[in-house]
Chain A
Amino acid sequence: MTKVYVKYKDGIIDPEAENTKKALKMLGYDVKNVRIWKVYEIETEDNIKEMVERLLVNPVIHEYKIE
């Protein structure tokens, strides 16, 4: 199984992460930063890089790694 990790590039605001940070702070935790990754587990013999670039990421806002 190949894992594809997708996250927002540095400098692009992730509103979901910002809101998570806010919520954790409201619960009384000292949180400096939250980053959310999306992980796809893909079982395939085909070209994963091509799949990722064709559908899973938008290069304007995302970066990814394949493991």
Chain B
Amino acid sequence: MIAILRMEGTNNEEDIYNAFAALKYPVEMVHLKQFTGEAKKELEKSIFDYDGIMIPGGFSAGDYIRAGAIFGARLKKISKELKEFVREGRIIGGICNGFQVLTEAGLLPGIDDVIVSKPQISLGVNDSGRFECRHIFLKHENKCFFTEKYEKNEILQVPIAHAEGKFITSKRILEKLKENGQIIFRYVNRNGEYAGYPFNPNGSMENIAGISNPEGNVFGMMPHPERVFYPYLHQEKKKTGDGRRFFESIIEYLRRRI
């Protein structure tokens, strides 16, 4: 069972829910408070009731302070449980605002520890100073459990919709990410070459669009695979939606794990 984790201001949970439901994998929506012991007793849930947690996009807590900061700080109340959850090989995924939540919560990059107390990555304001909302190209550079069904170096077309997506980290973390093969997606142009704006829509370091932890079971990306689940959601004619295999990869991994 997958939990789609929502709180005030998340708004992409329906699309992710529908993707799993279309692939006939059990999925349900859970409010953050149900995990943190702040809900009514009869609504309380344990993260260990689920094989995976997906954090959807949106504007959690109105993007106040920084995008994802408040959700991340609140999520950290259950750091101990999350650590155990990740160590057991269950999955945590974040898309767009969900990626910002995972970096702010210290669950990514997962290099020094499963969860670190201070963020080591920032997804900062786009260089353009604007909300960028359009299709972009991604190169799938390394596989993780969220992307096993894509070919290595395959070029995908996936939409983005964010104002804060500029990937920034320290030299040390960047080197480690490369060394461990944790850079899963990079922004490229139509020919698969690294390029500047508008192909790199936000000014991300080394065109980074999505990363995983070293083990590959915690993953975050700025673009929205759930918005290209079906081929008719693409700008160009395609046989299947480029986002479909993202969800198929997760399901295959979880089925294999059980």
Contact = CB atoms under 8 A, between A and B. Distances in A.
Interface of A: 12-16, 18-19, 53-56, 58-61
A18 B129 contact: yes
A55 B125 contact: no
A20 B41 CA distance: 50
A58 B125 contact: no
A56 B126 CA distance: 19
Categorize the interface residue count of chain B.
20 to 34
A1 B186 CA distance: 45
B104 A58 contact: yes
Nearest to A54: B73
Given A19-B129, A58-B104, A53 B69 contact: no
B168 A15 contact: no
Contact of B168 (A16, A54, A61): A61
B170 interface: yes
Interface stretch (B114-122, B134-142, B235-243): B114-122
A12 B122 CA distance: 11
Given A12-B124, A61-B122, A61-B124, A56 B65 contact: yes
A58 B73 CA distance: 11
Contacts of A18: 129
Contacts of B125: 14-16
Interface in B65-92: 65-66, 69-70, 73
A55 B73 CA distance: 6
B169 A55 contact: no
10 contacts: A12-B168, A13-B127, A15-B127, A15-B129, A16-B129, A55-B65, A56-B69, A58-B119, A59-B118, A60-B122
Contacts of B119: 58-60
B121 A55 contact: no
Chain A CB count within 10 A is highest, among B70, B118, B120, B126, for B118
Nearest to A59: B118
Contact of B118 (A12, A16, A53): A53
Contacts of A13: 127, 203
A58 B66 contact: yes
Given A12-B124, A15-B128, A55-B70, A60 B65 contact: no
Nearest to A56: B65
A16 B124 CA distance: 11
A55 B117 CA distance: 11
Contacts of B69: 55-56, 58
Nearest to A40: B65
Contact of A58 (B70, B122, B203): B122
